[in-house]
Amino acid sequence: MENKYKVQVNGSKDFQFSREQIEALDALETSSSNYHVLKDNRSFKAEILKSDFLKRKYTVKINSNNYEVDISNELDLLIEEMGLSLGSSQLVNEIKAPMPGLILDVNVKEGDEVKEGDYLLVLEAMKMENTLTAPHDGKVKLVEVKKGQTVEKSQLLIEME
């Protein structure tokens, strides 16, 4: 198995890295959770704010911006490539805010039929627009938010049947 990793940032941006690329990173640990990183002659201050080592989920602050980072290792990628899923038996019916932000658009209403991947709403957070999609085919049971509303992290946005 090739040593490669998939990194997802804020649930929307995907990156792939090899072990060699990670080992070549010019990073200096300045304390137990603080790092100084050089990339393309630019300096970055990085701090690990929260970490869940077993689930490989981290909150990282880089130059005053917070990022939610999920890391998939070689085994995770192989399972995904084979079309399998460790959590496939769990059906997600509640769409919650992944981070605090502002609702820019709501594309569905109660009673709408949606297909997996359909756009449900747009959440602006940290000056980025994040489109939240339907996790599976189903019917919208409840829409808890409206355009222009501010939301907190983990707040219920939409409930599906």
| Positive or negative torsion for Cα 139, 141, 144, 146 | positive
* DSSP symbol at 150: E
Domains in the chain, please, with CATH? 4-81 (no CATH), 94-160 (2.40.50.100)
What pLDDT sits at residue 156?
A: 94
* DSSP symbol at 95: E
What pLDDT sits at residue 65?
A: 93
Q: Determine the straight-line distance between the first and last CA of the chain, rounded to whole angstroms.
A: 40
What pLDDT sits at residue 54?
A: 72
What pLDDT sits at residue 89?
A: 45
What is the pLDDT tens value at each position of the chain, 161 positions in all?
A: 467 888 999 988 999 888 888 888 888 888 878 999 888 889 999 999 988 877 788 999 998 899 999 988 887 777 777 765 555 445 788 999 988 999 999 999 999 999 988 999 999 988 888 889 888 899 999 999 999 999 999 999 999 98
pTM, rounded to two decimals: 0.47
Kind plus residue range of the DSSP H or E element containing 4: strand 4-9
CB proximity list for 81: less than 8 A, separation 6 or greater? none
What pLDDT sits at residue 144?
A: 96
Q: Identify any residues that bridge with 8 across adjacent strands, giving them in sequence order.
A: 14, 70
CB proximity list for 106: less than 8 A, separation 6 or greater? 120, 121, 143, 145, 146, 147
What pLDDT sits at residue 4?
A: 83
What pLDDT sits at residue 2?
A: 60
